[in-house]
Amino acid sequence: MAGELNRVYVPSALEEDGRSLALGCFSSEETAWQVLRTFLKKSDQMSLKSASVVVWDVDVVGEDGVTILSTMECKDCPVCGRHTFWMDLENFSALCHGDACAAWVEESTIEPGVIDCGWPPVRFMKQTKDIEEAFAELFKVGDQINAVARTANMQKDESSKLLDEFDQRASSQD
Protein backbone atom coordinates (compact mmCIF):
# COMPACT_ATOMS: atom_id res chain seq x y z
CA MET A 1 0.00 0.00 0.00
CA ALA A 2 1.28 3.49 -0.87
CA GLY A 3 2.28 5.99 1.83
CA GLU A 4 -0.33 8.28 3.30
CA LEU A 5 -0.79 11.57 1.44
CA ASN A 6 -0.47 14.55 3.80
CA ARG A 7 -0.24 17.45 1.33
CA VAL A 8 -1.37 18.25 -2.19
CA TYR A 9 -0.04 20.95 -4.51
CA VAL A 10 -2.51 22.80 -6.72
CA PRO A 11 -1.39 25.05 -9.60
CA SER A 12 -4.05 27.36 -11.02
CA ALA A 13 -4.48 30.42 -13.21
CA LEU A 14 -6.97 33.28 -13.12
CA GLU A 15 -8.35 34.69 -16.36
CA GLU A 16 -8.93 38.42 -16.75
CA ASP A 17 -12.70 37.86 -16.64
CA GLY A 18 -12.32 36.30 -13.16
CA ARG A 19 -12.66 32.62 -14.08
CA SER A 20 -10.26 30.29 -12.32
CA LEU A 21 -8.52 27.49 -14.20
CA ALA A 22 -7.48 24.58 -11.98
CA LEU A 23 -4.55 22.74 -13.53
CA GLY A 24 -4.64 19.67 -11.33
CA CYS A 25 -3.85 18.38 -7.87
CA PHE A 26 -0.43 16.79 -7.33
CA SER A 27 1.40 14.93 -4.61
CA SER A 28 4.71 16.72 -5.33
CA GLU A 29 5.58 20.40 -5.49
CA GLU A 30 7.97 19.77 -8.37
CA THR A 31 5.21 18.29 -10.54
CA ALA A 32 2.86 21.18 -9.74
CA TRP A 33 5.52 23.69 -10.82
CA GLN A 34 6.28 21.76 -14.02
CA VAL A 35 2.58 21.73 -14.95
CA LEU A 36 2.24 25.46 -14.23
CA ARG A 37 5.39 26.42 -16.19
CA THR A 38 4.24 24.39 -19.19
CA PHE A 39 0.83 26.06 -19.04
CA LEU A 40 2.37 29.57 -18.76
CA LYS A 41 4.16 29.08 -22.08
CA LYS A 42 0.73 29.41 -23.72
CA SER A 43 -0.26 32.55 -21.81
CA ASP A 44 -0.02 34.76 -24.89
CA GLN A 45 -2.90 32.74 -26.39
CA MET A 46 -5.23 33.48 -23.45
CA SER A 47 -6.27 36.44 -21.32
CA LEU A 48 -4.59 35.49 -18.06
CA LYS A 49 -4.24 37.80 -15.09
CA SER A 50 -2.43 35.74 -12.47
CA ALA A 51 -1.30 32.25 -11.50
CA SER A 52 -0.43 30.52 -8.27
CA VAL A 53 0.69 27.32 -6.60
CA VAL A 54 -1.15 26.51 -3.39
CA VAL A 55 -0.43 23.75 -0.86
CA TRP A 56 -3.35 22.08 0.90
CA ASP A 57 -2.77 20.00 4.01
CA VAL A 58 -5.05 16.97 3.96
CA ASP A 59 -7.62 16.63 6.77
CA VAL A 60 -7.05 20.18 8.09
CA VAL A 61 -10.12 22.39 8.38
CA GLY A 62 -10.08 26.11 7.62
CA GLU A 63 -7.35 28.59 6.77
CA ASP A 64 -4.68 26.58 8.58
CA GLY A 65 -4.89 23.96 5.87
CA VAL A 66 -3.76 26.16 2.99
CA THR A 67 -0.45 27.86 2.16
CA ILE A 68 0.13 29.99 -0.93
CA LEU A 69 3.63 29.20 -2.23
CA SER A 70 3.63 31.81 -4.97
CA THR A 71 1.31 34.21 -6.74
CA MET A 72 2.41 35.67 -10.06
CA GLU A 73 0.94 38.40 -12.26
CA CYS A 74 1.08 38.32 -16.05
CA LYS A 75 2.44 41.37 -17.89
CA ASP A 76 3.65 42.19 -21.39
CA CYS A 77 7.30 41.24 -21.81
CA PRO A 78 9.60 44.27 -22.15
CA VAL A 79 11.72 42.41 -24.72
CA CYS A 80 9.38 40.37 -26.95
CA GLY A 81 6.19 42.32 -26.19
CA ARG A 82 4.02 39.22 -25.73
CA HIS A 83 1.71 38.74 -22.72
CA THR A 84 4.04 36.06 -21.29
CA PHE A 85 6.02 37.92 -18.61
CA TRP A 86 5.19 36.45 -15.20
CA MET A 87 6.12 38.42 -12.09
CA ASP A 88 6.22 37.11 -8.53
CA LEU A 89 5.88 40.31 -6.53
CA GLU A 90 6.38 38.76 -3.09
CA ASN A 91 9.78 37.17 -3.85
CA PHE A 92 10.60 39.64 -6.56
CA SER A 93 11.38 37.74 -9.71
CA ALA A 94 10.04 37.84 -13.23
CA LEU A 95 10.46 35.56 -16.24
CA CYS A 96 9.11 35.58 -19.78
CA HIS A 97 7.73 32.16 -20.60
CA GLY A 98 7.43 33.00 -24.30
CA ASP A 99 9.15 30.77 -26.83
CA ALA A 100 12.76 31.81 -27.50
CA CYS A 101 12.63 34.80 -25.12
CA ALA A 102 13.16 34.02 -21.42
CA ALA A 103 13.86 37.64 -20.42
CA TRP A 104 14.20 37.83 -16.64
CA VAL A 105 14.53 40.14 -13.65
CA GLU A 106 15.29 39.21 -10.05
CA GLU A 107 16.90 40.44 -6.87
CA SER A 108 20.56 39.46 -6.68
CA THR A 109 21.24 36.48 -4.47
CA ILE A 110 24.82 37.69 -3.95
CA GLU A 111 24.53 41.46 -3.56
CA PRO A 112 21.64 42.81 -1.44
CA GLY A 113 19.91 45.81 -3.01
CA VAL A 114 21.07 44.94 -6.53
CA ILE A 115 18.67 43.87 -9.28
CA ASP A 116 19.86 41.46 -11.97
CA CYS A 117 18.22 41.29 -15.40
CA GLY A 118 18.96 39.55 -18.64
CA TRP A 119 17.98 38.16 -21.99
CA PRO A 120 19.59 34.74 -22.59
CA PRO A 121 19.35 34.54 -26.42
CA VAL A 122 22.10 37.17 -26.77
CA ARG A 123 23.73 36.53 -23.38
CA PHE A 124 22.71 39.98 -22.17
CA MET A 125 22.99 40.42 -18.40
CA LYS A 126 23.08 43.60 -16.39
CA GLN A 127 23.02 44.63 -12.75
CA THR A 128 21.02 47.70 -11.82
CA LYS A 129 20.26 49.74 -8.71
CA ASP A 130 16.50 49.33 -8.85
CA ILE A 131 13.63 47.56 -10.58
CA GLU A 132 12.73 50.51 -12.81
CA GLU A 133 16.26 50.65 -14.20
CA ALA A 134 16.21 46.87 -14.83
CA PHE A 135 13.00 47.16 -16.83
CA ALA A 136 14.40 50.16 -18.73
CA GLU A 137 17.39 48.03 -19.76
CA LEU A 138 15.12 45.22 -20.97
CA PHE A 139 12.95 47.71 -22.90
CA LYS A 140 16.15 48.96 -24.63
CA VAL A 141 16.93 45.40 -25.71
CA GLY A 142 13.37 45.02 -27.01
CA ASP A 143 13.61 48.32 -28.90
CA GLN A 144 16.88 47.23 -30.53
CA ILE A 145 15.33 43.95 -31.63
CA ASN A 146 12.34 45.76 -33.11
CA ALA A 147 14.62 48.21 -34.94
CA VAL A 148 16.67 45.38 -36.44
CA ALA A 149 13.52 43.52 -37.48
CA ARG A 150 12.06 46.62 -39.15
CA THR A 151 15.32 47.38 -40.95
CA ALA A 152 15.63 43.80 -42.17
CA ASN A 153 12.11 43.94 -43.61
CA MET A 154 12.64 47.25 -45.45
CA GLN A 155 13.11 47.48 -49.16
CA LYS A 156 16.50 48.88 -50.21
CA ASP A 157 15.09 52.17 -51.50
CA GLU A 158 12.92 52.60 -48.39
CA SER A 159 15.92 53.07 -46.09
CA SER A 160 17.42 55.62 -48.51
CA LYS A 161 14.14 57.56 -48.52
CA LEU A 162 14.09 57.64 -44.71
CA LEU A 163 17.69 58.90 -44.62
CA ASP A 164 16.93 61.60 -47.22
CA GLU A 165 13.87 62.68 -45.22
CA PHE A 166 15.97 62.89 -42.05
CA ASP A 167 18.65 64.94 -43.83
CA GLN A 168 16.02 67.35 -45.19
CA ARG A 169 14.48 67.88 -41.74
CA ALA A 170 17.92 68.38 -40.19
CA SER A 171 18.96 70.95 -42.82
CA SER A 172 15.65 72.87 -42.52
CA GLN A 173 16.18 73.23 -38.74
CA ASP A 174 19.65 74.81 -39.21
Q: How close are the terminal C-alpha atoms of the chain, in Å?
A: 87
C-alpha dihedral sign at 39, 79, 159, 169: positive
At 149, the pLDDT band (50, 70, 90 cuts) reads confident
Which residues touch 17 (CB under 8 Å, ≥6 apart)? 47
Confidence of residue 173 (pLDDT cuts 50, 70, 90): low
Same domain, 116 and 149: yes
What is the spatial distance between Cα 74 and Cα 96, in angstroms, rounded to a whole number? 9
Mean pLDDT across the chain: 87
Residue 84 lies in a domain: no
Give domain status of residue 82, yes or no: no
Domain count, the chain: 2
| pLDDT value of position 154 | 64
* 51 domain-assigned: yes
Q: Are residues 59 and 107 in the same domain?
A: no
Q: Are residues 106 and 160 in the same domain?
A: yes
In a domain, 80, yes or no: no
Task: Classify residue 24: in a domain, yes or no.
Answer: yes
Domain span including residue 100: 93-167
Mean pLDDT along residues 134-151: 87
What average pLDDT does range 48-60 have in this prediction? 93
Contact 9, 26 (CB under 8 A): yes
Beta bridge partners of 74: 86
